[in-house]
Amino acid sequence: MPDQQPLVSVIVPNYNYAKSLPLCLKAIQDQDYPSIEIVLIDDCSTDDSVVVAAALGVEAVSTGTNGGVSVARNLGAARARGEILLFVDSDVALAPDAVTQAVRLLLATPDLGAVCGIYDPDPLIRDSRMEEYRCLQQYYALVSSEGRISTVHTNTFAIRADVFAELDGFNPQLRHTEDQDFGLRLAMRYGALSTSAVVGRHDNDDTLRLVLRKVYQRIYLAMPLYLRRRGLPGGYASGPRAWASAVCLLSVATLLLPLLLGAAWAVVPVLVLGTGLACDTGLYRCVVRHKGWGFLGYFMAVNFVVNLTVAVGVIAGGLRCLFSRRFREVYDAALGSGVSAPA
């Protein structure tokens, strides 16, 4: 790294995360990188977020009206002075060397557009077994796609300020799939790297209802983007996960066979379910390695329900694409008419 280290603006978008915000900000203040400014953008929180930040000496800049995370990130980038922007969600606490590692990798590879971090397998604040499930599931999804990716993981990612400006920032109309939209536009001009050298611990979703709602919402709203691509971007949306979801749905559908054709057909859903579970063998090995055999049964049961939810989201989003031109074209303004998406 050069002697003159570039200023890094760490941008933290926040909405009602007073619980994890002090851990997030303290972790930024404790970074071993010497040239940092913190830009905290509060999207009109109704909790004590602003007070919590002030107690740590961090001033929160308000968006004025609640506009979503894209608006907050764009405002943070507009106010930032750094040559490098590092976005960190307010429910993530960075490892002490995260900024140093992100800057090192970004400067070492001139054609690299962004460096994305990976979650730690353990939650930042343990609230439930569900949160442990979610952290492990997301950790495995990210670490198994480590390397060059055609999207961005916005929980923690560094990007040169000039590249962010060139891409016109995040689409302010998108609240749930802004990362996939931005990542696709980035991939058209630059590369992105997902790396375990940059780690953050996440205060994740802690109820099944919240997990399923987010999973369904994201996959449903992303279907117009997936259908334009020649492949999945990796990470949360990967080939193995798609196959596992499809087979889980098929196993439920085949439960009708023994009812209609006789008990001998009960072997079919069992075989199909076994195939679906086999698609996630690597994930289950990861669970045993980090949490032991005692946690595996719970994890597998929840993961089956999550995979079913993914499959339902794909079907619902695909059907809406079929019948709604407006839905099909929701990302066209950002991508440009007739642009071919990368694989």
- pLDDT, one tens digit per residue, over 16-63 is 999 999 999 999 999 999 999 999 999 999 999 999 999 999 999 999
How high is the pLDDT of residue 191? 85
- pLDDT, one tens digit per residue, over 51-110 is 999 999 999 999 999 999 999 999 999 999 999 999 999 999 999 999 999 999 999 988
- pLDDT, one tens digit per residue, over 120-178 is 999 999 999 999 999 999 999 999 889 998 889 999 999 999 999 999 999 998 888 89
Alpha helices in the chain (DSSP H): 21-29, 49-55, 69-79, 98-108, 129-143, 161-166, 178-187, 208-228, 239-253, 256-261, 267-279, 281-291, 293-323, 325-328, 332-335
What residues have CB less than 8 Å from 267, skipping those under 6 apart? none
Instruction: Indicate the SS3 state at residue 175.
Output: coil
Q: How far apart are CA 170 and CA 106, in angstroms?
A: 20
CA atoms within 13 A on the CB side of 22: 9
Residue with the bigger pLDDT between 115 and 269: it is 115
Characterize 160-170 residue by residue with b for buried, 16 or more Cβ atoms within 10 angstroms of its Cβ, and e for exposed. Answer: bbebbeebebb
Q: What is the pTM of this model?
A: 0.90
Q: How far apart are CA 317 and CA 269, in angstroms?
A: 26
What residues have CB less than 8 Å from 268, skipping those under 6 apart? 254, 257, 258
